[in-house]
Structure 1
Amino acid sequence: MNEAKIIRPLCFARASTEPVSIEVQASLFLDRTSCRGLTSFVHINTLSEEILLRLVSRYGIAVIVDLRPRPVFERPKFRHREVVGYFFTRSIKYIEYAMISNAEIDEFNIEKRKEILRNALPLGMTLFLFDDAATEKGWVGEMRHDARISSEFRTEMHPRSLMGH
């Protein structure tokens, strides 16, 4: 490779005993523990891969509960493997609600919902993803109700406040 094209950082050594102040940029990510009990319910149609990953990184989301009956991040808006891999590499707990429910019965055990919330809300902000099918099954309303009556719940953030619209 042509040496002229390589960009190298400039480093200067100083022989001085004076203290050197180093400016440190504030973290781009919120401390997850400061977001305990915060929730947001976001319809998957309002998101793209870029917006979803920006939300996850900007707000320090600790848990994503996917309420969709078919929890697949479909093309062309998403690349499923990359999205789930992003969650994994950043230690974001990803829960596929349909996979832990009884698929043959539309009703979901209230104790299982409470267990999900007990385990999710104390970790940090919890993002609930849903679609029209999850709304029709009543899963969104049930989870929202159970979240609001949970002792760990602090507030629900509107998706527009997260996305800046």
Structure 2
Amino acid sequence: MNRATHAAAAVITAALLVGCSTSTSTPTAATPNGQATAAPAPGKATADATGAFAALSAAVPSAKLGGTVTAENDPNHFLGRPHQYTSKITFTDGRIPADQTEGYQPGDVELGGSIEVFPNEADAKARHDYIQAVTKGMPALTEYDYLQGETLIRVSRLLTPAQATDYEKAAAHLP
């Protein structure tokens, strides 16, 4: 597959993932900006993507922070919306050869990955399941996804399975 096809596949993936929504019914709470978001499970503190990345990058030194997603720069427009992530970061992985990253933009999962933290496990699982359903059978769109409680770690398909396993092992130690 040529680079133009990879770039087109990435655009299609982004368009499909933008349409992600869930029908899971959970309580809502207001965020500081007044938007509603699902409330965390009782007695359970919701993690933050930056903190999750700190733990992850300690275990996977080739992972470098790419950026922090805000309501203003979120290409999906999901941050803080009901049943969507409450924090998100993107990261790069130095083990991905530069010649395989042409055509991708900063923040694209293909450059390394992202961490999305949700208000509860049900919303995180719904997002995980949606991504898996959209990318199933489409090798150019697949990615490694690791779900740990309210945290979804999305890892580039450009890493080898052995390299991606480093993230899986690190994810297992997140709260």
TM-score after normalising by structure 2: 0.29
Q: Which has the higher helix share?
A: 1
Q: Which has the higher strand share?
A: 2
Q: Which has the higher contact order (CA 8 A, sep 6+)?
A: 1
TM-score after normalising by structure 1: 0.30
- Structure of greater Rg: 1
